[in-house]
Structure 1
Amino acid sequence: MEHLTSFGFYAILIESFKLLPKNGKLTMLIAIFSIVMHSILSFLLFYCIDFLISDILVHLMPDPTSFDPNNPTTFAPKTNSNFPLLNPSFKKDLSFVLIVEIAYIVATLMVAFLSGISIIIVSIASYSAKSLSLKELLGCIRRTWTRPLITTLYIWLLTFSCLVFTSMLISPLLIYNTPPTIMVAIVFGIGAYIFLLYLNVPWLLAIVISVAEENYSGLEALGKASTLIKGKRVHGFLINVSYCVFSMVVVGGCKMILLRNRWLSHHVMVYTFFVALLLHLTTLLAIVAYTVLYIRIKKIDGEDVELSGSILYAKLPTIQPYSTD
């Protein structure tokens, strides 16, 4: 039996990079789909928000008829309709802004969700050295999407609860607004964030389990992930830390480039597309790494990588089961 040290953190990353060329066309298609969709959604958001804000600014301008004829510099509203905040059109524009932002968030999450489960399916097939067609991939997504969706909703609820609890602890420190309390709040916030990265290791592994095994979703997947990851959580934690550090480097580096190159400030979409490209590729690699972690843990525990009912064994009859020989 293999030991955990035989596939340490770096070995998992190397294995993840090796998986990317296998089923490379599908992997590239998933990456292109994710990047293009996010770029289109960002463009639509910028366009809609810019249009709505321009309309709001028009409503904020005072009505020319509300000025005192004897003193043009004096604003003398005569009715409530002269107050912008009471203007029905102003309220309507604010409602549209809120609706557009909510629609953008929902659409972005849907794209990320579909891309995530797609790359998990492709990674499992690639790890088993099996080719996967687009038709088979779409069939797998159609048959499995409900399980990871339920698990993802539970994870969002857990994450939101942790954020609310952390905010409740930090808020009293920020009320005093003194350098010591602000410093303590910052240190506490960073510590809470790092602890959250440690907590969500089994949560992210549960999504992989929900995709790979048909009998697990929601709390069942979270429970199995917590059992599998015992004693091995450090590898998932290092994946999370590496992802966050690289993401911060990408965003920070791109902001520095944006500040030093004035022409980029006039091409926000170019900047957004470039940042989205790097972040989405990094996200896909992190998902592949978690899939590799799941498969290796299963092998260490003496279980078949592809159990009866897994996506490759039962859902794709044209693909042969994985052999550990």
Structure 2
Amino acid sequence: MGLYEFSSFVVILRESIKVLAKNGQFMATITTASILLNSLLLFTNIFSTKPVIHDLLSKETLLLLAGPGSPGFADLLLGVKIDVRTIIGIESAILLASLIISLFSMVSTILVSAIAHQDKALSFNDFLSRLTRSCIRPFITSFHITIYLYGYIFFVLVLLIPLVVFCDHLFTLKAISISFGIVALIFWTYLSVVWVLALVISVLEQNCYGIGALGKAGGLIKGKRLHGFALNIFVLLASIVVVQCSRMIRDPKSLSIQMIIGFFLTVFSGLVTMFQYLTYTVLYFQCKKTHGEEIELQASMEYSKYRWGFSTITNFVVSS
């Protein structure tokens, strides 16, 4: 990154701090709500699945000791199936709730950041109106991004299989696997610049989502891709440091330690996610300015026009 690119990157960070200062209370409310809800899901997951998992392990041990012809074998097998279904049901419900919370948190952060960046006022009713109308588009875009992500993982595994098959030495295999994994992670970080920007576009532009948002993000990021890549690298390094620190103090036998670490990771994840979407929203406006495109916040303007028009009509009727 040259001197000009570095100075532009610093501008993005400075603008992000200004945006956070303008609507810090709103942003803190969104982030806190997201952290609390995700923490509630975490604790619910721990306390609801732990007894079922313990029961499942006990029944599996009894199944290994008992033969297929023993009297209680069928009942134990049925109990194992019920426990597995219960765990899958709980995990699926928690995963769905987590995805919904993440979606609303993402949309809320991007909307508040965009309004603050343009120095516009944002009432709570306006925020709720735009929030409910802006969730479907990023959801569709997220679906396409997930497909690309799974495709990328499959591609990486296909490339890694020949290395594993033809490598005989364990130390060499570990070194190659780690090196290959680092390269794949860095390249994924580079690709995700377009993906995250596509999510921002899906929230802020009414008629752009899915493949269209990904295509527009690819064209819009030209000339500033290194800035997004630097932001992603910063987030990635911070995440690696925090995860490694949590692994050093982890005690798998202590439930309280697991809960404390899980809550700490949830807080960190919420703050990092807020920072990432905030900076990418600023990056979006920088890209629009670079390409000479007009800023589109049609939903907000339409809502304001509707509210102004309704008030005008009401005042006219009353005065008449």
Report TM bin, short chain. 0.7 to 0.9
Shift in Å at residue 271 of structure 1? 2.2
Larger proportion of helix = 2
Distance 1:141 1:150 in 2: 15
Match runs of 1:128-147 below 5 Å = 128-147=118-137
Aligned to 1:15: 15
Match runs of 1:153-192 below 5 Å = 153-175=143-165, 176=167, 178-192=170-184
Assess, with a 3 A threshold, how the Cα gap between structure 1 residues 22 and 38 changes in structure 2: closer, same or farther.
Answer: same
Match runs of 1:9-88 below 5 Å = 9-62=9-62, 77=67, 79=69, 82-83=72-73, 87-88=77-78
Aligned to 2:114: 124
Aligned to 1:152: 142
Could you tell me which of 289, 292, 298 is aligned with 1:302? 292
Assess, with a 3 A threshold, how the Cα gap between structure 1 residues 78 and 165 changes in structure 2: closer, same or farther.
Answer: closer
Q: Is the 8 A contact 1:81 1:87 kept in 2?
A: no
Distance 2:196 2:68 in 1: 59
TM-score where L is the length of structure 1: 0.84
Q: Is the 8 A contact 2:30 2:108 kept in 1?
A: yes
Letter in 2 for 1:209: I
Instruction: Quote the RMSD (CA, aligned, Å).
Output: 2.9
Moved more, 273-282 or 35-44: 273-282
Assess, with a 3 A threshold, how the Cα gap between structure 1 residues 47 and 181 changes in structure 2: closer, same or farther.
Answer: same
Could you tell me which of 237, 240, 249 is aligned with 1:248? 240
Could you tell me which of 255, 263, 267 is aligned with 1:273? 263
Aligned to 1:312: 300
- Is residue 228 of structure 1 aligned with residue 220 of structure 2? yes
Shift in Å at residue 142 of structure 1? 1.0
Shift in Å at residue 123 of structure 1? 0.2
- Is residue 103 of structure 1 aligned with residue 93 of structure 2? yes
Paired residues, number: 304
Q: Is the 8 A contact 2:66 2:73 kept in 1?
A: no
Distance 1:216 1:78 in 2: 59
SS, match of residue 266 in structure 1: helix
Shift in Å at residue 86 of structure 1? 6.5
Superposed CA offset, 1:190-228 (max 9, x none)? 101111111121111111111111110111111111111
Distance 1:315 1:39 in 2: 34
Could you tell me which of 171, 175, 189 is aligned with 1:197? 189
Distance 1:214 1:167 in 2: 37
